[in-house]
Structure 1
Amino acid sequence: MFGQQNVPPGAGASGPDLANTGTVIASYANYAGAQRAVDYLSDNEFPVQNSAIVGADLRMVESVLGRLTASKAAASGAASGAWFGLMIGLFLGIFAVRAHGWLWLVLMGLIWGTAAGALFGWLGYRAMGGQRDFVSTSQIVASRYDVMVRPDLAERARNLVGRLDL
């Protein structure tokens, strides 16, 4: 294939595969701590292109926000449909010859979009057959974040990061 490179699994598109070959110089309980360490390395003219922040012990956390009912599904669909209908109405309004024709197109797009969105939201809820009657968000979190660098630069990086909390 054109433009493809042989990249080992886990390797980024360019640069060294530090997640597999790097040396851990510091570990942090949150991403902000690891980011602060790399920023400190950068501020002290360390070649940060030879570093990586690697999340360890990943897990998916789904936070349940509340119960989903048919009316909530329809309302959510109506809100999404209203935005879509408004966008279509505004787009078609560009081609309207008369000023009141433009307003009519925007208003009709909004109304039809809201109605269609409510209908599809309600139908989607009914199609699930009560299988998932809740709303949630998901995110991937790590138990720790390791700052890793090329092994030949590890001692220098460790010394710099050691001064960070002084």
Structure 2
Amino acid sequence: MSTYTDRSTTQTDFRPGVYTGDDAFAEGRTSLGSYRTYPEAQAVVDRLSDEGFEVENLRILGHGITSVEQVTGRMTVGRAALAGAGTGAWLGLFVALLLGLFTPVVAWFSLLIAGLLFGALWGALLGAVAQWATRGRRDFRSAQSLLAQSYEVLVTSNRAAQARRLLAGEPSLAS
């Protein structure tokens, strides 16, 4: 069993051990292992869940968190208006459906079309004005995400032995 104490360098020792880091997220918990990708850590939790382990006792802790913003394209007033029209159309359709509950069947279809068009028009107008108001300070679209250098699966210390047995393929023993 190894003990992790230094997080200033990239983790290369992936053997389970008692986590002794100074953060409150790991207090009273034992490491089941450290993984390079989130899907690997998630697979461990999923496997324990499939075995009937009480997953409320698990935690996935990311180390070396980095914020990544992927620029996906240019944003113009026209594109902002188009995106606003789409959002407004859905909102207008939703409001029209709600109002349609109290409308005679004859006018129902007209109400849906009016809500769709009214919503799209206002959405386009608000989208265009919002983009114009930035005055070119943010003329791009992007998607943000968080990535970690490694992910550690932690378990409450009183459940560590049971979790290790299940991961080793042994039958569960009540602990």
Report the AA paired with residue 130 of structure 1.
G
CA distance in structure 1 between the aligned counterparts of 2:34 and 2:92, rounded to whole angstroms: 49
- Which structure has more relative contact order (CA 8 Å, sep 6+)? It is 1
Matched residue type, 1:127:
A
- Say whether the 8 Å CA contact 1:25–1:154 is kept in structure 2: yes
* 1:94 equivalent in structure 2: 101
The residue number in structure 1 matching 2:148 is 142
102-111 or 152-161, which moves further after superposition?
A: 152-161
For residue 116 of structure 1, the aligned residue among 114, 122, 132 is 122
85 and 49 in structure 1: CA distance in 2 versus 1, 3 angstrom threshold? closer
- 1:162 is displaced (CA, Å) by 5.6
Which residue of 122, 126, 133 maps to 1:127? 133
TM-score scaled by structure 2?
0.72
1:54 aligns with 2:57: no
Q: Distance in 2 between matches of 1:95 and 1:41?
A: 51
Tell me whether 142-151 or 128-137 shows the greater mean CA deviation: 142-151
2:45 corresponds in structure 1 to 38
Counting matched residue pairs gives: 147
2:26 corresponding residue in structure 1? 19
SS at match of 1:87: helix
Deviates more, 1:132-141 or 1:19-28: 19-28
Q: 2-side partners of 1:57 and 1:108: how far apart?
A: 51
- Secondary structure of residue in 1 paired with 2:91: helix
* Deviation at residue 76 of structure 1 after TM alignment: 0.3
Normalising by structure 1, report the TM-score.
0.75
Q: Which runs of 5+ in 2 are unaligned?
A: 1-23, 171-175
AA aligned opposite 1:64: V
In the alignment, does 2:75 pair up with 1:68?
yes
CA RMSD of aligned residues (A): 2.4
Identical columns (%): 40
Q: Which whole-Å CA distance do the structure 2 matches of 1:110 and 1:51 have between them?
A: 46
The residue type paired with residue 60 of structure 1 is S
CA distance in 1, matches of 2:53, 2:96: 53
Task: Give structure 1 stretches of 5+ with no counterpart.
Answer: 1-16
For 2:120, give the aligned amino acid.
T
Aligned to 1:79: 86
Separation in 1 of the partners of 2:104 and 2:64?
61
